[in-house]
Amino acid sequence: MTSPLILRGLSKSYGGTRVVDGLDLELQAGRCHGLLGPNGAGKTTTLRLALGLIGADAGTVDLLGYPMPAQAALARRKVGVVPQIDSLDPDFTVRENLLTYGRYFGMKGREIEARIPYLLEFSGLAGKADAPINNLSGGMKRRLTLARALVNDPDLIFLDEPTTGLDPQARHLIWQGLRRLIGQGKTLLLTTHFMDEAERLCDVISVLDQGRVIVRGSPRELIQQHIEPHVVEIYGDGLTEWKACASNFCKRCETAGETLFCYTEAPDKVVEELESQPGLRYLHRPANLEDVFLKLTGRDLRD
Ligand code: ADP
C-alpha cells in the first residue's frame, strides 16, 4: 500500500536555527505513528510542514500523493487534524460546530447532518448536539475536536497532543476512540508527551531531538534495544550514602530530584541490598518507554 505521508530530507530554520533538520519519515497506512521529543524538538513544525501550512527550506513532502505545500488545499480536504489547542466556536452549539467545519471541506449540509449521529456517538457526546460549547467540560471539548476532525471521514489523522490537560478518565475515553480509529484501518500521526499514551497506541515511534529522528521503532523494540530491562526507583532517608556505593550493585544510575533510578539486568542484587536499608523505599518495575526517552534525550528541562 502506498504511504499516506512521505517526508524526505525536510529542513526548516527559524532565525538561523534549524528546527527541522534533514528529517525523513514514511508512514505506513493503517498504523499509528508516534512523534515524540522534548519541547522544542520540532514536532509541531514537522506537522505544519507535513500539512503544507508552512513551506520547507529543503526537502519534500508528499501527502496522500500531493506535493506540499503546492497542493495543500487539495490534500487537506482528505485529512483530519486535531490541533494542540481547541479552536471550537464558542458562539455555536456542538451540532453547529460540526456543520460549520464540514462546510470548510465543501460538504453539503445534508451530508454533514447524516454523519452527525455517528460523530456524536463516537465521541461520547450523544444527547449533546444542541449544547453550547461553553457548557462542555474540557474532556468533552477535546472529544468534540476529535469528532470534528472526522467529519470528512479522513483516512489519515494528525493529532497534536490530543490528551494534554485532560484528567485520566477523559484520556481513557480519547484512547478508546483512537484505538477504534486504528481498528478501522485509519492512519494516525500522533505527537504526545505521555509515554504511556505512545506505548499503548503507537505501532511505530520516532523520537525527535533538535529536528532529527534519533531513534525509530516499535515501543517494544525501543525498550529492548535502548534500555536495561529492570528499573529500581529508590528514595528516602540515607539515599545519599547508599548512592555512593550503588555502583557496586548497579551499572547505571541516574538521579532525578529526590529519586535514584537504578537501571539493571540483575535487579535481585539491588533489591537484596535495599532490604537492609530501613530508611529507603523502593519500587522495582520493568523498564518502559519513558526510561528510553529520558536516556536518549536527557533529564534536563527544555523550555
Ligand atoms: P515541539 O513541537 O517539538 O515543541 P516546535 O516545532 O513547536 O517544537 O518548535 C521547534 C523550535 O522552533 C522551537 O525552538 C520554537 O521556538 C521554534 N519555532 C517554531 N515555530 C516558530 C516560528 N513561527 N517562528 C520562530 N520560531 C519558531
Q: pTM for this structure?
A: 0.93
pLDDT tens for 254-270 read 998 899 999 999 999 99
| C-alpha 148 – ligand 1 centre gap (Å) | 26
Burial bucket for residue 189 (CB in 10 Å: 0-12, 13-18, 19+): buried
State the average pLDDT over residues 195-210: 97
pLDDT over 70 for what percent of the chain?
99
Gyration radius from the chain CA atoms: 22
| C-alpha 159 – ligand 1 centre gap (Å) | 17
The reported pLDDT for the residue numbered 303 is 66
Helix axes 138-149, 109-122, angle to 10 degrees: 130
Q: Of ligand 1's atoms, which has the minimum distance to the CA of residue 160?
A: 2
Helix axes 94-104, 138-149, angle to 10 degrees: 30
The reported pLDDT for the residue numbered 134 is 94
Nearest-CA residue for ligand 1 atom 7 is 44
| C-alpha 19 – ligand 1 centre gap (Å) | 7
Q: Which set of grid coordinates corresponds to residue 157? A: 489523522
pLDDT tens for 9-49 read 999 999 999 999 999 999 999 999 999 999 999 999 999 99
State the average pLDDT over residues 100-128: 95
Residue 301: pLDDT over 80: no
Categorize the per-residue pLDDT at 151 as very low, low, confident or very high, splitting at 50, 70 and 90. Answer: very high
The reported pLDDT for the residue numbered 1 is 73
Categorize the per-residue pLDDT at 79 as very low, low, confident or very high, splitting at 50, 70 and 90. Answer: very high
Q: What are phi and psi of 35, to 5 degrees?
A: -115, 105
- Cα dihedral sign, 205-208-212-215: negative
User: Given ligand 1 and candidates 44, 46, 206, which is best to mutate, with the most ligand atoms within 8 Å of its CB?
Assistant: 44
Nearest-CA residue for ligand 1 atom 21 is 14
Q: Of ligand 1's atoms, which has the minimum distance to the CA of residue 42?
A: 6
| C-alpha 36 – ligand 1 centre gap (Å) | 14
Categorize the per-residue pLDDT at 248 as very low, low, confident or very high, splitting at 50, 70 and 90. Answer: confident
Q: How far apart are CA 138 and CA 256, in angstroms?
A: 31
Q: How far is CA 119 from its chain centroid?
A: 22
The reported pLDDT for the residue numbered 245 is 85
| C-alpha 44 – ligand 1 centre gap (Å) | 7
Least confident of 141-150, 173-182, 240-249, 261-270: 240-249
What are the helix (H) ranges across the chain?
Answer: 43-50, 72-76, 94-104, 109-122, 138-149, 168-183, 195-201, 219-226, 239-244, 267-275, 289-297
